[in-house]
Amino acid sequence: MRIIGFSILGTAILIGTENVHSQGPEASIYIQPQVTNIIFHISESNSSVTSSPTGNLHAGINLTYFTNEKLGFGTGISIGNDGETINIERRFNNVTVESADYKYIFTVLKIPFQIRYHLMTRKGVRLMFDGGPHLDYILKAVNRTDAGTYNYADDYSRLQVGFEFGFGTGIPVRQNVLITIKPTIAFTNLGFRYTQENYKKNFPIGRNLVKNNLGLQFGLIYVLNKTLLPADPL
């Protein structure tokens, strides 16, 4: 409900549109707390998975170039952790014979390719939408269990493709600086691959895993072309 409230607040502030933007670049830095949920596909009829979404954190920088007062194209780079805790349970004749917890943690380098569109602006305040594909490179992937910590980076396709979308507001604090609040949602195919032959027979998780991230991004935008904002901030 809080995330929806930010968007409603932004809409209320921006009633009455005026064009104060022009062409030019802008840079941004941000941190993004997020919750990760991985959809696991089970290939054994006598096994089940229960997942517990886990909080994670990303941080990054972006550079966006606006071709007109509303439309911009950008890219950047970020780094952070994704992961969650799952429980795999195996049953025989409806009796649980094995139950184990696994905590998967991925350290990811992300390169987004985004289109940003300003839906409305008033006195420098923005209501904006952005979205597009991103490339993820897995720097590290570990699985923590009661028995120890194991490196699973080679069991995944190192380079992955996903899509991310955001909808939020930007509020000026100086003539060329804005603070931003933006809820985001992302979907990424982890592309699990079997590196050992016995995995194909004994590992119950399917080959294609979908990673979902729901985040709330807090950032600062620095407008390199000061004509993008009116002379006086709110």
User: What pLDDT was estimated at residue 138?
Assistant: 87
User: What pLDDT was estimated at residue 226?
Assistant: 62
Integer angstrom CA distances of residue 137 from 86, 132, 190, 212, 215: 22, 17, 10, 16, 19
User: What pLDDT was estimated at residue 17?
Assistant: 36
Contacts of 201 (CB under 8 A, 6+ apart): none
Token digits of residue 120: 């409305």
User: What pLDDT was estimated at residue 141?
Assistant: 83
Count other C-beta atoms under 10 Å from residue 116's C-beta.
21
| H or E stretch covering 199 | helix 197-202
**DSSP code, position 63:** E
User: What pLDDT was estimated at residue 217?
Assistant: 94
User: What pLDDT was estimated at residue 145?
Assistant: 75
User: What pLDDT was estimated at residue 176?
Assistant: 86
Answer yes or no: are the C-beta atoms of 165 and 196 closer than 8 Å.
no
Would you call 73 helix, strand, or coil by DSSP?
strand
Count other C-beta atoms under 10 Å from residue 53's C-beta.
16
User: What pLDDT was estimated at residue 192?
Assistant: 60
Distance of CA 74 to the CA centre of its chain: 16
Nearest alpha-carbon partner for 62 in 141, 130, 16, 162: 130
Token digits of residue 178: 């804005």
Q: What is the maximal distance between C-alpha atoms in the chain?
A: 73
Nearest alpha-carbon partner for 102 in 115, 89, 121, 120: 89
**DSSP code, position 14:** T
State phi, psi for 206 to the nearest 5 degrees.
-65, 175
Mean pLDDT (10-residue bins), the chain, 234 residues: 44 39 82 82 61 85 91 95 77 68 85 94 88 92 78 76 93 89 88 52 54 90 69 46
Nearest alpha-carbon partner for 124 in 63, 180, 167: 180
Residue spans per domain, the chain: 2-183+196-206+220-228
Nearest alpha-carbon partner for 204 in 86, 53, 85: 86
Nearest alpha-carbon partner for 16 in 90, 159, 120: 120
End-to-end CA gap in the chain? 26
